[in-house]
Amino acid sequence: MHMFDIDKLTIMVPGAVREILKTLHDAGYEAYIVGGCVRDAILGLEPKDWDITTSALPEQVKSLFSNTVDTGIQHGTVMVIKYGIGYEVTTYRIDGDYKDGRHPENVTFTRSLAEDLKRRDFTINAFAYSPEKGVVDMFDGLEDLDNRLIRCVGDPNARFSEDALRIMRAVRFSAQLSFKIETVTLAAIGRHVQNLSNVSMERIRVEFEKTLLSDHPEKAGQYASLGMGRFIVPDEALVKKCFDDEIADCYHKISGTDEEKKVLRLAAFFHNLTAEETKRALKLMKYDNRTIKLVSGIIQFKDKNVEAEKSAVKKALHKQGEELFALVLRYRELILNIPADEIRTILKQIMDAEEPYEISHLAVSGTDLIEAGIPKGELVGETLNMLLNQVIDNPDLNHREVLLGLIAKQRG
């Protein structure tokens, strides 16, 4: 007995999407929600996007709605704006040859839903649904949902030849849904790994990151076992150190916002690298400067103990910054099993009392020092750092007159 009965499946479609479907339907066109939103709704998950496919041509879609944007009209996609939200409406299409192993050279519009669905990657992404027709499942996707399988639509060699990124998407869906990759599909992945050389690093990174942020981040190890590791971290010397099964078993311990999870799980991924190697890997992966700074910072400071006393905590705060310091504490706690409660208590005391730990917290500025007779140049910075070290040890010194007095005394 199957878990999903196609005749009884009803999907709660948002009002705006229903209106779009009805407008197209009333004008004599077929229209369905399609792909991942149908899959997620069947599984009881909340769809992130609601994509619509229709027999109407792009110009016909535009004529039916007052607010549209040509987001990908050459591929048949028009965005319909309803109540301030955009919904992509795409004409049924047949893809031309994929000469670059990533994008079709051209597309041909069709009146056949079946032709449109059979160009899609996996059976669980090839569903269509309308309130009138219910779920359309032409490739036994419901059975694959039932058996928790990722399986290509039709010949996996053809699907992966068309778009090499699909081999990474197979692993990503496996991680997000906790599904296995079907045997024939899995075998085909190995035959098409080299085609990832046709895919941009940015697209590869997105798939890898989605896997790392999933509920089963340890499945990122499949990228290495299937030969994809060198495309994720394109440096043979570094990639071998990154896919560490022992560390991967700890990924799931890291929770929080997507941004926190991303930074901390990336740090775990690069756990065996030095800070400089981590910077190099992240640059090769085309990460932004902020991510590079935080992840390499975690690697740099993860093994450095901070004594549980105010002066040491403030010096670490000064060196690392508040955001990085908190991330390092969390990483040490979750991955290295080093308790951080005592440090956090001290940190709260410092923050609550607004005790200084940055040069900007000093009661004097560089201008004050110059007016007090310190020559412009490096000596101003050195003097500010000297004052900060004294104030970190004794916050009561942080008054303008006291600090200027210290300078005067030092200058003799």
Q: Exposed, middle or buried by CB within 10 Å (0-12, 13-18, 19+), for 299? A: buried
Q: Give the per-residue pLDDT at 94.
A: 86
CA distance 372 to 368: 6
State pTM to two decimals. 0.87
Q: Give the per-residue pLDDT at 97.
A: 59
Reduced to 3 states, what is the DSSP secondary structure of residue 11?
coil
Q: Give the per-residue pLDDT at 6.
A: 66
Q: Is the dihedral angle over the CA atoms 194, 199, 201, 206 positive or is it negative?
A: negative
| Beta bridge mates, 88 | 79
Nearest to 295 by CA among 271, 263, 262: 263
- Residue 81 has a CB neighbour count (10 Å cut-off) of 14
Q: What are the DSSP calls for 198-217, one per residue?
A: GS-HHHHHHHHHHHHTSS-G
> Please, which residues have CB within 8 angstroms of residue 65's CB and are 6 or more apart in sequence?
20, 23, 80, 81
Q: Give the per-residue pLDDT at 1.
A: 44
CA distances from 216 to 45, 81, 226, 345, 403 (A): 16, 35, 17, 32, 54
Q: Is residue 265 within 8 Å of residue 217, measured between CB atoms? A: yes
Q: CA dihedral defined by 127, 42, 40, 157, rounded to 10 degrees?
A: -40
Q: Is residue 272 within 8 Å of residue 244, measured between CB atoms? A: yes
Q: Give the per-residue pLDDT at 73.
A: 85
- Residue 62 has a CB neighbour count (10 Å cut-off) of 17
Q: Is the dihedral angle over the CA atoms 200, 206, 207, 208 positive or is it negative?
A: positive
CA distance 50 to 129: 11
User: For the CA atoms of the chain, what is the radius of gyration?
Assistant: 28
Q: Give the per-residue pLDDT at 230.
A: 95
* pLDDT one digit per residue (tens) for the chain, 412 residues: 456 666 677 788 999 999 999 999 999 999 999 999 999 999 989 998 999 999 999 999 999 999 999 988 888 999 999 999 999 999 999 876 555 445 556 678 999 999 999 999 999 999 999 998 999 999 999 999 999 999 999 999 999 999 999 999 999 999 999 999 999 999 999 999 999 999 999 999 999 999 999 999 999 999 999 999 999 999 999 998 999 888 888 999 999 899 999 999 999 999 999 999 999 999 999 999 999 999 999 999 999 999 999 999 999 999 999 999 999 999 999 999 999 999 999 999 999 999 999 999 999 999 999 998 889 999 999 999 999 999 999 999 999 999 999 988 877 6
CA distance 205 to 287: 9
What secondary structure letter does DSSP report for 174? H
Nearest to 139 by CA among 34, 231, 211, 247: 34
